[in-house]
A and B are shown apart, each in its own frame.
Chain A
């Protein structure tokens, strides 16, 4: 126990002695949260739209109004032919082009179906394109519906018509569709993952590169004392980071912890220990800092950012990718931070899906690092 404390004290010395690194450890995750928090949680802006109105009638102007009424679309350009419309999309000046045919008004009156070509820039992010398509579709249906109702009323079949079915939407947890509420808890998870992994992986491989490992081997210090002594100071650093990140989320983004803070912190410590263990595992199988950096970037961090569900939904991933991401503790932890911070759920309701896997994975990586870590060169 004394030896464990000796190693810990030495490690704390190392951290304190190097003010520049200390500043980076403390400040960079916070800065990154602000940068990414403001950057990624960018609200969906109005879609720029160009219109080629060949009809130039009241009916066509009403149609355009329907699109612009909700502020989802902005009437940016007025063009004269189809070619100019497509040119604007090519130049990425607009995302949507609507072409209203010359006989639009006449078709409406005569009762034939009026076909309105709508062009969409398909090169944008697929989910954005999908959203725009849905919006366009629903606006055109509403327009069609309104015209149908007018016709029915004019024909005298009914004086007033109610739609037979109306869906009443109630959005739980995030009623305003604030993407910050979705992104910030995920960012916290990813930042802590980066932090824990780099700190522990480099701390041990540095000892080997410095040659001090050889000197430590000939002391009676036990492997577990050495490992734990190196990990615990960094656990303290990471817990500090967690509090800083939670505080900043509230201060700058108004994202608070809806659920139980104690449970969040408890599970965070599990996650940190597992990730720190993973770092030790990486540094045990690497001979140099270079190798350690490569493994932790290419095997863990980049997959963690892309596959953990921070930005892209994991539901449609092929099985191999899905299960690879399941093995990253951050995937589970991200579900937990979102669950507790946004939905305010109890850890028990996520028990089978996230809490249990997180605990099992964390203990697994931690124990594996103990077993692999050897006091020999």
Chain B
């Protein structure tokens, strides 16, 4: 499958007078058939980007092409081929699960011969069969998201755009939701998803980091991680106050941050990593610290995220 979404120099400004750009010269190219993640902090412009791609909102400048159509000129042709799930619950709370699905199937003009089969397929797929006659307003947060997914998928779109689908959902439901998403991708649907969670970013085939309306980096999670100019050391020792002091005094540590009672240290990956580890070990021994953990660790997407945000702050 070729390129499904491409944008050129997309920009968006909300009010006319000197407002900051929500999107700033955004150029993207998303190939078909993958699970694509748009990652970034709150207020980065994720929702705006997805709204423009879904042709719900018009950009201030630049163009966006989705499924081969310009979002400005052919919104109707795009709408026929995509499923869109807004960030907030956007179904009818006074209609039942089944009625909501029925409504969206009808409004999307799913042929009536396909409809019953497709709706039960969607109910089974999202594990909502037993809740078919429950009113949507009474569902739990996770079930609402699954129903919204089912409604967005009921007309068999080629492209699915999801805006923070797992925000406000408990971890078990979140995991279940991502398992379902993976199945959707397996069926050949391109999925574009925005998320502020780094563990979810790691599940994507391709990720773009968005911050202040700009793309900071794009690539597979592995590419992004290996592009980092540092390695990560994990350190756990007590007393903790002393540990922090030692880490602060040791040469060759770029930055560090605590994760639980462990410290994650960023050390340059120019070959000096081993040396830093050795000197750190020596200092800890000197001070007679109880070291329960000192090891090299794989950088996570969270490290990528923190690094990119810090780099951008340094630039500004």
The listed residue (A10, A13, A212, A376) touching B90 by CB distance below 8 A is A212
Which B44-67 residues have a C-beta within 8 angstroms of A?
51, 54-58
Of the candidates B83, B90, B104, the one whose C-beta lies within 8 Å of that of A211 is B90
Please state if A10 and B55 are interface contacts (CB–CB under 8 Å): no
In the complex, are the beta carbons of B107 and A214 less than 8 A apart? Answer: no
Selected contact of A6 from candidates B51, B89, B107, CB within 8 Å: B107
- CB pair B76 A218 closer than 8 Å: no
Whether A215 sits at the interface, judged by CB under 8 Å, is yes
The interface residues of chain A lying within 8 Å CB-to-CB of B108 are 219-220
- Contact check, A377 vs B51: say whether CB atoms are below 8 A apart: yes
B95 touching A2 by the CB < 8 A rule? no
**Cβ of B109 and Cβ of A218 under 8 Å apart?**
no
The digit string for B83-108, where 1 denotes a CB below 8 A from any CB of A, is 11010111111110001000110111
- Name the interface size band of chain B: 20 to 34
Judging by beta carbons under 8 Å apart, are B95 and A10 in contact? yes
**A3-41 with Cβ < 8 A to chain B:** 3, 6-7, 10, 13-14, 17-18
C-alpha gap A376/B51 in the complex (Å): 10
Interface size on A, residues (CB 8 A): 23
- Beyond A210-B90, A214-B90, whether A6 also contacts B106 by CB under 8 A is yes
- Nearest CB of chain A from residue B165's CB, rounded to whole Å: 14
Whether B34 sits at the interface, judged by CB under 8 Å, is: no
- Of the residues B93, B94, B109, B151, contact of A3 by C-beta under 8 Å: B109
A117 vs B80: C-alpha distance when bound (angstroms): 85
Q: Mark B153-165, 1 if CB is under 8 A from A, else 0.
A: 0000000000000
A-B interface contact total, Cβ < 8 Å: 70
Q: A375: nearest residue on chain B (CB-CB)?
A: B75
Contact A17 B56 (CB under 8 A): no
Q: Any chain B CB within 8 A of the CB of A79?
A: no
Does B79 lie at the interface of the complex (its beta carbon under 8 Å from any beta carbon of A)? yes
B86 adjacent to A219 (CB under 8 Å): no
Is there contact, CB below 8 Å, between B57 and A215?
Answer: no
User: How many angstroms from the CA of A3 to the CA of B104 in the assembled complex?
Assistant: 10
Chain A residues with CB under 8 A of B57? 376-377
Q: Which of A7, A13, A218 contacts B84 (CB 8 A)?
A: A218
Compute how far the CA of A211 lies from the CA of B103 in the bound complex, rounded to whole angstroms: 16
On whether the beta carbons of B56 and A211 are closer than 8 Å, the reply is no
- Knowing A13-B95, A376-B56 are in contact, say whether A220-B90 is a contact too (CB < 8 A): no
| Assembly CA distance A322 to B157 (angstroms) | 56
Q: Are B54 and A218 in contact (CB under 8 A)?
A: yes
* Contact of A221 with B by CB under 8 A: yes
Instruction: Output the least CB separation between B52 and chain A (Å).
Output: 11
Is B82 an interface residue, CB under 8 A from the partner?
yes
Which chain A residues numbered 252 to 294 have a C-beta less than 8 Å away from chain B?
A: none
The answer to whether A7 and B90 have CB atoms under 8 Å apart is: no
**Closest Cβ neighbor of A6 among chain B residues:** B106
A221 vs B75: C-alpha distance when bound (angstroms): 11
Question: Does A217 reach chain B (CB closer than 8 Å)?
Answer: yes
B92 vs chain A, min Cβ distance (A): 6
What's the nearest-Cβ distance from chain A to residue B39, in Å? 22
**Contact of B95 with A215 in the complex, beta carbons under 8 Å:** no
Contact with B79, one of A3, A17, A218 (Cβ below 8 angstroms): A218
Q: A14-B94, A17-B94, A377-B51 are in contact. Are A7 and B107 (CB under 8 A)?
A: yes
Cα distance A2–B108 when bound, in Å? Answer: 10
Residues of A within 8 A of B103 (CB): 6, 10
Q: How far is the CB of B158 from chain A (nearest CB, A)?
A: 14
Per-residue contact bits, chain A 204-240, to B (CB 8 Å; 1 contact, 0 not): 0000001110111111110000000000000000000
In the bound complex, do residue A220 and residue B79 qualify as a contact, i.e. CB atoms below 8 Å apart? yes
Write the nearest CB–CB distance from B106 to chain A, whole angstroms.
Answer: 4
Chain A residues closer than 8 Å to B107, beta-carbon distance: 3, 6-7, 216, 219-221
Contacts of A218 in B (CB 8 A): 54-56, 79, 82-84
**Considering the chains assembled together, what is the distance between the CA atoms of A285 and B79 in angstroms?**
25
For A219, the chain B residues whose CB sits under 8 A away are: 79, 104, 107-108
Are B94 and A13 within 8 A (Cβ)? Answer: yes
Residue B92 contacts which of A3, A212, A214 (CB distance < 8 angstroms)? A212
Bound-complex Cα distance A13 to B83 (A):
24
A376 to chain B, nearest CB (A): 7
Q: How far is the CB of A138 from chain B (nearest CB, A)?
A: 64
Among residues of B, the one whose C-beta sits closest to the C-beta of A217 is B56
Complex partner residue of B91 from A2, A6, A215, A220, CB under 8 angstroms: A215
Cβ of B88: which chain A residues have Cβ within 8 Å of it?
A: 211
Query: Are A2 and B94 in contact, CB atoms less than 8 angstroms apart?
Result: no
CB–CB A17/B91 < 8 A = no
* A212 CB contacts on chain B under 8 angstroms: 90-92
Residues B157-198 near A (CB distance < 8 A): none
In this complex, the member of B89, B92, B95 whose beta carbon has the largest number of chain A beta carbons within 10 angstroms is B92
Instruction: Say yes or no: B90 contacts A215, CB within 8 Å.
Output: yes
Please give the distance in Å from A222's CB to the nearest CB on chain B.
8
A221 cross-chain contacts in B, Cβ below 8 A: 107
Q: Considering the chains assembled together, what is the distance between the CA atoms of A3 and B109 in angstroms?
A: 8
B86 touches A215 (CB 8 A): yes
Q: Which residues of B contact A6 (CB under 8 A)?
A: 103, 106-107
Bound complex: CA of A6 vs CA of B95, how far in Å? Answer: 13
Minimum Cβ distance to chain A for residue B310 (Å): 34
Shortest Cβ distance from residue A211 to the other chain B in the assembled complex, whole angstroms:
4
- B interface residues with partner A (beta carbon < 8 Å): 51, 54-58, 75-76, 79-80, 82-84, 86, 88-95, 99, 103-104, 106-109, 151
Q: Could you name 27 residue pairs across A and B whose Cβ atoms are closer than 8 Å?
A: A2-B109, A3-B106, A3-B107, A3-B109, A10-B92, A10-B95, A13-B99, A14-B92, A17-B95, A210-B90, A210-B93, A214-B56, A215-B84, A215-B90, A215-B91, A215-B104, A215-B151, A216-B107, A217-B55, A217-B79, A219-B104, A220-B79, A220-B109, A221-B107, A375-B75, A376-B57, A376-B58
10 interchain residue pairs of minimum CB distance: A211-B90, A6-B106, A218-B84, A215-B90, A211-B88, A17-B94, A214-B86, A219-B107, A217-B56, A212-B90
Additional A-B contact list (10), CB under 8 Å, known A214-B51, A214-B86, A215-B86: A3-B106, A10-B92, A211-B89, A212-B91, A214-B90, A219-B108, A220-B109, A376-B57, A376-B58, A377-B56
